[in-house]
């Protein structure tokens, strides 16, 4: 797919990886629909995409809310007249051990902690994929859907909720690649390791330092490196059903 004038939806598009993807794709002439929860940050990201050379619009939408997702996808199609790509990037962390005993006190991961991550990181991906794929078929648009999984899909301590969601996203990437190929829609994933964004900056400094020293390339990844991979998948018409791992060798 040539990205010039192609309409790409990026969820979680106002900061971190999503924002870097928007600017990178805008520089290639794409039209971006940035989806997120904060209007001010969205407006700022839209301005950055326009400055980079592409068109962009902001959409306030909680990806975990079925009604809002349905409305957002219909609005993007009405505004741009087509949908050629979706990057399911919105995500949250609510880390904690499932069971922890400290000083004789037992604590548990709450159901809210579990459910909020599943709702955004897994159900949100399902809803956006379902609605966008349906709209692509209706509009007879070939296209590509990219799911942002994580190295945590292999199972990280303190991330029972997040690992389950990211493994689920990886599994469903294969399901949807099989189901949607007949309609000319490719579905693939990117599984980043630890990348320099606010999400990683929220880790405890000692944990971050220990983790970085365990990366064979001895550094965190850069948002631009993830954006580059997303563009590669969008542009490569033979890439589907696979997860591209970008982790500096952490899982070797
Ligand atoms: P981030 O926290 O900087 O940005 C995430 C964005 O998603 C935010 O703008 C947030 O407002 C938005 N968002 C959250 N919940 C939403 C909802 N319900 N509806 C719409 N938008 C919502 O995170 P990031 O580091 O840029 O991560 C982006 C994606 O990459 C996430 O899916 C994350 O799990 C994944 N990831 C990140 C890393 C990393 O090292 N940063 C590693 C592996 C995977």
Q: What is the CATH number of the domain that holds 43?
A: 3.40.50.720
pLDDT 10s digits, 124-163: 999 999 999 999 999 999 999 999 999 999 999 999 999 9
> Which residues are annotated as catalytic?
162
CB burial string 72-89: b at 16+ within 10 A, e below: bbeebbeebebbbbbbbb
Instruction: State the average pLDDT over residues 49-62.
Output: 98
Asked whether residue 205 is domain-assigned, the answer is yes
- Tell how far the Cα of 182 is from the centroid of ligand 1, in angstroms: 30
* Residue 84 belongs to domain spanning: 7-240
Q: Are 91 and 200 in contact (CB under 8 A)?
A: no
Closest atom of ligand 1 to 121 CA is 32
Asked whether residue 249 is domain-assigned, the answer is no
Asked whether residue 136 is domain-assigned, the answer is yes
Asked whether residue 246 is domain-assigned, the answer is no
Distance of CA 113 to CAs 66, 95, 98, 110, 251, Å? 20, 8, 10, 5, 27
List ligand 1's pocket residues with C-beta within 6 A. Answer: 11-12, 14-18, 35-37, 62-64, 89-92, 120, 124, 148, 150, 192, 194-195, 197-200
Closest atom of ligand 1 to 152 CA is 43
Asked whether residue 251 is domain-assigned, the answer is no
Question: According to the model, what pLDDT value does residue 87 have?
Answer: 99
Asked whether residue 105 is domain-assigned, the answer is yes
What's the CA gap between 128 and 93, in Å, rounded? 19
Asked whether residue 248 is domain-assigned, the answer is no
Q: Are 89 and 17 in contact (CB under 8 A)?
A: yes
Question: Model's pTM, two decimal places?
Answer: 0.98
In the chain, how many domains are there?
1
Task: Name which of 251, 194, 202 is nearest 225 in CA terms.
Answer: 194
Asked whether residue 250 is domain-assigned, the answer is no
- Tell how far the Cα of 225 is from the centroid of ligand 1, in angstroms: 16
Secondary structure (3-state) at 190: strand
- Tell how far the Cα of 184 is from the centroid of ligand 1, in angstroms: 28
């Amino acid at each position: 797919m040539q990205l010039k004038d192609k309409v790409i939806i990026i969820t979680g598009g106002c900061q971190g990886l999503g924002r870097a993807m928007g600017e990178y794709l805008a520089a290639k002439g794409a039209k971006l629909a940035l989806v997120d929860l904060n209007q001010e940050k969205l407006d700022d990201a839209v301005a950055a995409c326009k400055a980079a050379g592409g068109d962009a619009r902001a959409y306030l939408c909680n990806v975990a809310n079925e009604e809002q997702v349905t409305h957002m996808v219909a609005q993007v199609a009405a505004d741009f007249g087509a949908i050629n790509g979706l990057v399911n990037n919105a995500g949250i962390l609510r880390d904690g051990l499932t069971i922890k005993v400290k000083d004789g006190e037992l604590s548990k991961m709450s159901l809210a902690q579990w459910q909020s991550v599943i709702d955004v990181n897994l159900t949100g991906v399902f809803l956006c994929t379902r609605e966008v794929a349906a709209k692509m078929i209706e509009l007879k648009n070939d296209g590509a859907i990219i799911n942002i999984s994580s190295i945590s899909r292999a199972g990280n301590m303190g991330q029972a909720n997040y690992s389950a969601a990211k493994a689920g996203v990886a599994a469903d990437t294969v399901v949807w690649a099989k189901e949607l190929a007949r309609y000319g829609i490719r579905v693939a994933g990117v599984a980043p390791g630890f990348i320099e964004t606010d999400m990683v900056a929220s880790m405890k400094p000692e944990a971050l330092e220990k983790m970085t020293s365990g990366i064979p390339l001895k550094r965190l990844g850069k948002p631009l490196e993830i954006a580059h991979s997303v563009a590669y998948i969008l542009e490569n018409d033979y890439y589907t059903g696979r997860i591209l791992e970008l982790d500096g060798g952490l899982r070797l």
